[in-house]
Structure 1
């Protein structure tokens, strides 16, 4: 018996298609979704798919997926993702440290699945402020910026004070002690004195990518009406 009800019209309604959130789903449930999607030729994005669950999938399903262990994402049907690589990037993902790479890569993969290319700039945290300043002119060329940072989340305030683009902040669970698995970075983003920061939940790369996609959709609508 089918245990899910696919939201076929979500992309039309919201601009972002349904994704398969794999945490809490069994390998059998995930495989059922993949199998039916292959049969109906549906493109799907799977998020939070652990390496263990991916390895446990039947080979007939595994071989159909483009899997990324770092971001724990998988894509079935690469047509849009391949097209994305041909388009110039309008979104840059700026990560404070290489420890934030998993969240940054999740964002990039969600954007890729939705036909949008992006660039990632890693290891520009404010502990060595010169690293960010060395790349700031490049960052300023993008109309949308997504920041990823753990620890105390200082990157968000500093970066937002240096750019005129909207900044989407993604606090990450990187850190220890009072960093509290990302809560300190989350509170830092919410309490920032730099205006115009939109804050996602901790490690919510998918949400950040969805917000960026909606911004681009709105921009294209406005551009089309002029």
Structure 2
């Protein structure tokens, strides 16, 4: 009952008084669970619902949080989930879907409309787990996604074969480990923002992604923003924000032209 729309509907239908509604709204949309304080109004403030970071959560806590979020939104996205966590959630929520590549655990509304276009690119196949976290996060939040995988600089001709598709995207996510050069290459080839995601893929001197992170931060190409090592979720979230703005701007321009 902490959702603003639900509260207002209940006032409209005479199910609760305005005083009761005011008391509920004063809680700031927080669902107090003792061990967790769920931010039930986050979507109203930011346009995105709260997402569950599954790693290190106890079984009982995860199940309770997952149930509550599903009850609130009718869908829920969990990241960094294990196969064990998938099985315990599936016992109580049979419709839950788990992807062992991205470690995403989700219940998603059917027939979701996806807008715009985001291109998610990887340098190598070993980067796909992080890329899929980005791609599936963006899709969950309503963005259309093109996947262009294994197009790193060691065989850069593979990238050029997909340039028309990449350049048409409202935002490009570049996922790379090793030295992380893919983001710089893409930054010099596209007009729209590039979100660089360093991964922990690589041999000893890659320092678990630190080398790729430093390369991306120090890129001489323009229009590149960098998220944390292996943070596919953060990239997918930000890419969706950019994609939504691009789609909204396109609609505004169309209206202004009278078409």
Q: TM-score, normalised by structure 2?
A: 0.79
Alignment equivalent of 1:125, drawn from 152, 155, 159: 152
Task: Name segments (4+ residues, structure 1) moved above 6 Å.
Answer: none
Alignment equivalent of 1:137, drawn from 160, 164, 170: 164
Q: TM-score, normalised by structure 1?
A: 0.90
Q: Which runs of 5+ in 1 are unaligned?
A: none
Alignment equivalent of 1:196, drawn from 192, 216, 223: 223
CA distance in 2, matches of 1:135, 1:41: 37
CA distance in 2, matches of 1:204, 1:139: 21
Contact 1:15 1:213 survives alignment (8 Å): no
Residue 40 of structure 1 deviates from its aligned partner by: 4.6
Q: How many residues are treated as equivalent by the alignment?
A: 221
**1:114-193, aligned counterparts within 5 Å?**
114-193=141-220
Q: Which residue of 1 aligns with 2:22?
A: none
Local SS of the residue matching 2:156 = helix
Answering whether residue 30 of structure 2 is matched by residue 30 of structure 1, we say no
Task: Give the RMSD, CA atoms, in angstroms.
Answer: 2.0
Contact 1:89 1:119 survives alignment (8 Å): no
Local SS of the residue matching 1:117 = strand
CA distance in 2, matches of 1:213, 1:117: 9
CA distance in 2, matches of 1:76, 1:58: 10
CA distance in 1, matches of 2:46, 2:81: 24
Change (3 A) 1:5 1:96: same
Alignment equivalent of 2:112, drawn from 83, 88, 102: 83
Q: Which runs of 5+ in 2 are unaligned?
A: 1-31
Please tell me whether Structure 1 or Structure 2 has the larger radius of gyration of its CA atoms: 2
Change (3 A) 1:139 1:38: closer
Residue 41 of structure 1 deviates from its aligned partner by: 5.6
> For residues 3-36 of structure 1, what are the alpha-carbon distances to aligned partners after superposition, in whole Å with 9 as ceiling and x for unaligned?
2222122122222221000112111111111233
Change (3 A) 1:40 1:141: closer
> For residues 169-224 of structure 1, what are the alpha-carbon distances to aligned partners after superposition, in whole Å with 9 as ceiling and x for unaligned?
01111112110111100000000010110000001111111111211333345444
